[in-house]
Amino acid sequence: MASASIHVQNLHKTYVVSKRESGVLAALQSLVVRQTEEIPAVDDISFHLASGEVVGFLGPNGAGKTTTLKMLSGLLHPTTGEVTVLGYVPSKRERAFLRQITLVMGQRNELVWDIPALDSFELNRAIYRVPPTDYRLMLKELTELLELGPLLHKPVRNLSLGERMKCEIAAALLHRPQVVFLDEPTIGLDVTMQRRIRKFIAEYNRKFGATVLLTSHYMADVEALCRRVIVIHNGKLLFDGELASLVQKFTAHKTIVVQLDDVQADMHSYGEVVSREDGHITLRVPKAETARVTERLLANLPVIDLLVEDPPIEEVIERVFAQESA
């Protein structure tokens, strides 16, 4: 308990929404009677994070990732279950707790639109009561790490999406939080910017030892940053462990990429042909067969190059979800 910075036990969150069908009759009916249904957004989730871990929360839209994050940051009360972060119960929203965490939401901005980002930073400084020297140091660090120099004095509305995101992240970290919650931080950004932000998060974690919980539906985010992955689907926790073992556990196949001299060769007896392009043929074979198929390929065909890979993680995740829905 002492070393677990985030502690989640049997967490449930159920929403009650009103149900209504289309049509004028139903509209009039809803005036009198309100029909509701219960939707479980988070369904019995448990996990523990040690201080300084970087963990990825993976799952499709509507899986319950954001809901879980909100419960961890105190924005939502759980329906049942226990949550503690840094020893605090988040929903109590104690000041001491809030001062040590931060929340970055990829799709929403908190920076004031028409003024330079630096001025919004000042606001956060006042709210978090960051001492002047600490603030100046932190600002310098963040400016360097995120390359904010020319951006700080421009009105936020004049910044590109990626530049804005960098400023949002900086604003969220000025008070050097111990726990960082990131909700889809790279969404909508171009590949270079995504990479840069991932690099920054890793740096921040290394430098300040903060615990980072990142939700995403981009595999690349998780691959680059997190050794540990928690997979959520339909509110249920499907997997909690190392990324590598996720791949191992949920895939029954391997991918063989073969480059042949004879492009027209018939590959069907070797395995499922996934694609043929530029002389590279991608085959999907059952894991157990990999060695045997490889042997046969090398023996029977004019192979120039051969590569055995794990299937792309997206495929793995899809399979995990498919298993769950099935």
Partner 1 sequence: MNYLRLFGVYFRLSVMNELAYRVNFYIQLFQSVVELATALTGLAVIFSYTSTLAGWTANEMLALVGVYFITGGMIGLVIRPSLEQFIASVRDGTFDFTLVKPEDAQFLMSFQIVNIWKLIDIVMGFAVLTTALIRLGSKVGAGQAVGFGIMLLTGTIIIYCFWLVLATLSFWFVRVENILVIFQSMYEAGRWPISLYPGWLRFALTFVVPIAFATTVPAQALTGHLTLETLIGALTAAAVLSVVSRFVWRIGLRRYSGASA
Partner 2 sequence: MRDFAVLYLQQFKTTFASMLQYRASLFIWMISAVLEPLIYLIVWSTVSVSRGGSVGDYTAGQFAAYFIVFMLVNQVTYTWIMYEYEYRIREGLLSPALLRPVHPIHADIAENISSKLVTMPVMILIAGGLALIFKPTASFQVWTIFAFIPALVLAFLIRFLIEWTLAQSAFWTTRVSAFNQVYFVLVLFLSGQIAPLSLFPRAIQVLANILPFRWMIGFPVELILGRLTPIQALTGIAAQVFWLFVSLGLVRVVWRAGIRIYSAVGA
Write each residue from 11 to 50 as x if it is in contact with partner 1 (CB under 8 A), else as -, in one continuous string. Answer: --x-x-----------------------------------
Indicate the DSSP class of residue 240. E
| Residue 208 binding partner 1, by CB under 8 A | no
Residue with smaller CB distance to partner 2, 26 or 50: 26
- Residue 3 vs residues 69, 109, 134, 213: alpha-carbon distances, Å: 20, 33, 26, 16
- What does each C-alpha distance from 269 to 49, 272, 277 come to in angstroms? 47, 8, 19
Task: Return contacts of 107-114, CB within 8 angstroms, 24+ apart.
Answer: 107/183, 107/184, 107/187, 107/188, 109/156, 109/164, 109/168, 110/168, 110/171, 111/156, 111/164, 111/167, 111/168, 111/171, 112/156, 113/155, 113/156, 113/157, 114/155, 114/156, 114/157
| Size of interface with partner 2, in residues (CB under 8 A) | 7
> Interface mask (CB under 8 A) for partner 1, residues 89-108, using x and -?
--x-x-xxxxx-xxx-x--x
- Partner from partner 1, partner 2, none binding residue 95, C-beta < 5-8 Å depending on class: partner 1
- For the chain, the distance separating the N- and C-terminal CA atoms, rounded to the nearest angstrom, is 36
Both structure tokens of 28:
């009039």
Between 79 and 143, whose beta carbon lies closer to partner 1? 79
Q: Which residue, 101 or 283, is less far from partner 1 as judged by CB?
A: 101
Q: At what angle do helices 161-173 and 191-208 cross, to 10 degrees?
A: 10
Residue 66 beta carbon to partner 1: minimum distance, rounded to whole angstroms: 10
Q: Cβ 110 to partner 1, closest distance in Å?
A: 4
Q: 207: Cβ–Cβ under 8 A, 6 or more apart, which residues?
A: 141
Residue among 23 and 150 whose Cβ is closer to partner 2: 23
Residue 271, both tokens: 């395995």
Footprint of partner 2 on 26-55 (CB under 8 A): 27-28, 30-31
Nearest distance from residue 87's CB to partner 1, in Å? Answer: 16
Q: Does 273 help bind partner 2 (rule: CB under 8 A)?
A: no
Note whether 24 binds partner 2 by CB under 8 A. Answer: yes
Q: Which is nearer to partner 1, 17 or 273 (CB)?
A: 17
Residue 92 vs residues 45, 74, 163, 172, 299: alpha-carbon distances, Å = 20, 7, 34, 21, 67
Interface ranges with partner 1 (CB under 8 A): 13, 15, 70, 73-77, 79, 91, 93, 95-99, 101-103, 105, 108-110, 112, 114-115, 119-120, 122-123, 126-129, 155
Which positions lie near partner 2, rule CB under 8 A? 22-24, 27-28, 30-31
